[in-house]
Chains A and B, each alone.
Chain A
Amino acid sequence: MAELARHEEHFESLERQAQAARLGMWIFVASEVLFFGALFALYGAYRAVWPEAFHAGVRANALVLGTTNTVLLLGSSFLVALAVERLRRHHDRAAKWLVVGTLVVGIAFLSIKGWEYSRHFEHGIFPGGRGRHFEQAGPGQAAFFTLYYLLTGLHALHVGVGVGVMAVLARRIHVRTLTSTAPHGLEVGAMYWHLVDIIWLFLWPMFYLTRGGGGS
Chain B
Amino acid sequence: MSAAGVPEETKIVVEYPGELESSDGILTALVRRLAGELRFDSLELDEGEGPLGGRITLWFRYGAKRIFHVSVVRKTGRTLVELGGLDPGDVLRAIASCRTHFDRLLGIEPEQVRSFESSLRP
Pairing of A with B: no
